[in-house]
Structure 1
Amino acid sequence: MSNQESENAGTLTPEQRLTPANLDLRRACIVTVPDVETVQACVAYENAHQNREPVLRRLAQQTAELRSN
C-alpha cells in the first residue's frame, strides 16, 4: 500500500468502513484500519447499528494485529 493509499484509508469514517454490502470490500476496509482508536470507533458504530458478530470478530482480530506490531 502506498503512503497516499494509507493516508486515505485513515480518513474513512466507521460508517464508510462497515456499510459496504460487498463482503470483500468491507473486509478490506477493516484490515486497513490504521490504529486501535479507529478500531474502537468502528466497534462502537457496529454495536450501535448492526451488531454483526462476524464484523465484531474481524475488528477484534485487527486490534490484536495492531497491538502486536
Structure 2
Amino acid sequence: MGNTPEHSNDSSDLSPAQRLEAPNPRLIDASIATINDMDTLRACVAYENQHQQRVPILRQLEEKASELRTQNKDD
C-alpha cells in the first residue's frame, strides 16, 4: 500500500485535471465533494475556466466554495 495515489487518504493529492477530467460524471461529482480547502477549489476553478468552461461543473464548484466558507465560519 504505502503512498500510492490509489491508497492515499489525502484527496488534495489529486490535481485539478485528475479531479475534473474523470471519465465518468459521478467521479467528477465525488472529486468535487472531497475538496476540503479553498486553495484546491481555486485551482479547480482556474483549471475548468482555462480548459472546458462547463457551466454545470463551475456551478458545483461554486456550491462547494459556499459550503467551505460556511464551514470556515463555524470553526
TM-score by length of 1: 0.87
Give per-residue Cα distances to partners, 1:15-37, cap 9 Å, x unaligned: 00000120111100001011011
Aligned residues: 64
For residue 57 of structure 2, what is the aligned residue in structure 1?
55
Greater RCO (Cα-Cα under 8 Å, separation 6 or more): 1
- CA RMSD in angstroms, aligned pairs only: 0.9
Counterpart of 1:31 (choices 21, 26, 33) is 33
| Distance in 1 of aligned mates of 2:23 and 2:58 | 16
For residue 24 of structure 2, what is the aligned residue in structure 1?
22
TM-score by length of 2: 0.81
| Distance in 2 of aligned mates of 1:27 and 1:21 | 11
Runs of 4+ in 1 over 3 A off after TM superposition: none
**Which one has the largest radius of gyration?**
2
Percent identity, aligned pairs only?
A: 45
